[in-house]
Structure 1
Amino acid sequence: MTDLKTFQQHLRKQVDKTIKGDRKGDKEILPRRHLRAETSPSNCYQFHSCLSQQQSLLQDHSRTATYHKAILLNDVDFRDKVVLDVGGSGMLCFFAVQAGAAKVYSLQSGPMAKHTQSLVQSNGQSGQILVLNQDLDSAVCPEEVDVLLTEPTGHLLLSDPHVQTVLRAKKCLKPGGLIFPTWADLHLAPFSDEQLYFENYARAAFWQQRNFCGINLSSLHNSAVDEFFRQPIVDTFEVQILMSRSVKHRINFKEAAPEDLQRVEIPFTFTLQQSGLVHGLAFWFDLAFQGSKATVWMSTAPTEPLTRWYQVRCLFQTPLFSKMGQTLTGRVILAANDRQSYDIHITGTIDQSGFTSGNVLDLKNPFFRQNQCVYVCVWV
């Protein structure tokens, strides 16, 4: 407990130092690393209908090249076959045609159906690619298909509700048909990052002001801290901050039903490979495309080239003191909510000391962060 009190005192000093900052006139400048959100999960389908967002997807070389490679390397699975592409820009339809598909249905909703039809006509593929403008959740394909193509993933794998749409679309798949991607491995590992923890705490410094236009805001400071700590942090990091090998949880898209993803529970046991403070858990995922000739992988791990999904980190409310060789045990529960997203429940215990910490985070409301300095103005 003495160590914990010492740490809390150190934390308060760091926050006070941040608040004082460099003053310019009647404003206080606080540096913050920030990444603007690429997605607004409040309306998944409107987001995917924006050409600017589809451009972001297509310009992600790791993503696009992996899909292209997986399809062309497994051309035997597409040659003379019927394919269904769910959502996206329709680009996967063209990849399927390049692999020899006889017919490809492109299931789209809203403006993206018009955009995809334009691409199909301008590229002379109207005879092979048929665009279906239907609601994605209740769509019906004119016939059973041999292959289902899709990109169901979001930040922390499950942040995009499109994954549920894909699982429902399996009703169009022939028995023994293929799904690309075939499965996903969600990885998690403990990390230590004191700067991130202090920075996240300092984001609430605005609410410590006692004279904001004559108003005392300090009564809301604790609530602001709680809210910021409920935000998963989307960014990237150096692998050296990881304190253990990762644990993985596999989701098999071919076998999973929509109800299987209503509650995803991942127990973990980590043997810590360094001493220090455990500030939370880091998440990333791998995708596997299993065809008849080759299995192609794409990884969003911090050791791999950066993708549009980055990695995701979830902070504990209070860091856990640990020593090398000790074990951290607990569980992560992803519980589906009525906001087309998940609540992330994390609990962890250092077995040798009995210290326990955790958090409940809102995957609907992530904080996007990168190594880019911008400025937040705080009135004093």
Structure 2
Amino acid sequence: MAMFRAAAEGDGAANNPFSQYYQQITHQQNMLQDAVRTGTYQRAIVGNSADFRGKVVLDVGTGTGILAFFAAQAGARKVYAVEASDMADVARKLVESNGMQAVIEVVKGKLEDITLPEKVDIIVSEPIGFLLVHERMLETYIVARDKFLKPGGAMYPTAGTIVVTPITCDALYQEQLAKAAFWSTADFYGVNVSSLWEQAVREHFSQAIVGYMHRNMMISQDVATHTVDFATVTDKGLTAFEVPFRFTVSVTAIMHGIGAWFDLSFKGSQDHVVLSTSPDCPGTHWYQCRLMFSQPLAVNATQVVCGVLKFQANDKFSYCIDMEAELEGSGIKTTQHINLQDQLYHYLQHPDSATAMPAAY
């Protein structure tokens, strides 16, 4: 992607320890101030205090330690708060200043490398990137399960579900197309650069668009889902998976892409809590996600669009997604390759203002 889009930061920032620490603490602050995320986690844990009372808990990727504090509030006997980065020092300071050393023990190190003096009854974590799987933190969550969880132990969260639906969004489509317009120039100081236009279009449309998505972008009442059960999923199940879909279109429009979000489920003995990042719910720092086709489909009301999203883990701590969509019975189809790690952020709008009426005709 470097050929047509500049990197977000220079190497200097990447190699500056102070910059890295600033980024870490700012990221932690943003997550803590996400009231939907933080409040839901507290409600799920403290609201199921019967599951935590007197139990041993492991908090994977504790950050500032907030989930470890929630486990202690729920009555946990011991909480091991594991953090590989220097945020472990921040968590330790908060534990000490709150007088929780007898319950919460901060362990600095990679989860794959550390040892604990005992198995745990419950694992808590917030191993979620946008579209559930970006950053591939779920793999560490599963390693923790296999390494430290007692048989029959609980996972908080219990499961995650990716949700997808067809969308129309002409403004965003035209914006992405316009970014490649320069490369159609036939005479740039005497040089014809138009041979690069198609590649430029492919690269811009391979971006995942992260931001608020209004419900009136959706052109079907149907959704397709893929649920990851954190108690049973394997490494193989996270490395590659597919989300097949079949949508009946409810409005004549241009299908520019797929809209997507996720739900998290916390299944406790006292309360079943769901954290949803749906457009119908209060906004979170995960927003929603739009995956655009460079060649959209014209669809009529009542037509059926079928296809699949094929997820494949990559070495960028994310996924490549190959999308296929076809008008059922017509042979008309489109495809798109998405690099999930290459995000374009459209997140400065309030959800209520993120509107785009279907291009009906």
- Shared fold, TM over 0.5: yes
Matched, 1:61 2:35: yes
Unaligned runs of 5+ in 2: 1-7, 350-361
Q: CA deviation at 1:193?
A: 1.1
Partner residue in 2 for 1:378: none
Further displaced range: 198-207 or 321-330: 198-207
Residue of 181, 185, 189 corresponding to 1:205: 181
* Cα distance between partner residues in 1 of 2:113 and 2:252: 52
Residue deviations 1:263-309, cap 9 Å, x none?
01111111111111111111100001111101001100011111000
Q: Residues 65-144 of structure 1 correspond to what in structure 2 (within 5 A)?
A: 65-87=39-61, 88-144=63-119
Query: 1:48 and 1:135, CA in 2 relative to 1: closer, same or farther beyond 3 A?
Result: farther
* Cα distance between partner residues in 1 of 2:36 and 2:198: 41
Matched, 1:255 2:232: yes
Matched, 1:172 2:152: no
Q: CA deviation at 1:47?
A: 8.2
Q: Residues 1-380 of structure 1 correspond to what in structure 2 (within 5 A)?
A: 50-87=24-61, 88-170=63-145, 171-209=147-185, 217-244=193-220, 245-370=222-347
Q: CA deviation at 1:160?
A: 1.9
Further displaced range: 255-264 or 291-300: 255-264
**Tell me, what secondary structure is at the counterpart of 2:207?**
coil
* Cα distance between partner residues in 2 of 1:260 and 1:111: 31
* Cα distance between partner residues in 1 of 2:245 and 2:21: 34
Q: CA deviation at 1:182?
A: 0.3
* Equivalent residues of 2:265, 2:274 under 8 A apart: yes
- Higher Cα Rg, which structure: 1
Q: CA deviation at 1:217?
A: 4.3
* Cα distance between partner residues in 1 of 2:115 and 2:139: 15
Residue deviations 1:208-267, cap 9 Å, x none?
456767765444332221110111111112101111221111100111122211101111
Matched letter for residue 54 of structure 2: D
Matched letter for residue 252 of structure 1: D
* Cα distance between partner residues in 2 of 1:225 and 1:176: 50
* Cα distance between partner residues in 2 of 1:81 and 1:89: 21
TM-score (norm 2): 0.87
**Tell me, what secondary structure is at the counterpart of 1:50?**
helix
Q: CA deviation at 1:327?
A: 0.7
* Equivalent residues of 1:154, 1:309 under 8 A apart: yes
* Cα distance between partner residues in 1 of 2:189 and 2:153: 64
* Cα distance between partner residues in 1 of 2:226 and 2:264: 12
* Cα distance between partner residues in 1 of 2:54 and 2:161: 31
Structure with higher RCO (Cα < 8 A, 6+ apart): 1
* Cα distance between partner residues in 2 of 1:94 and 1:334: 35
Q: CA deviation at 1:49?
A: 7.5
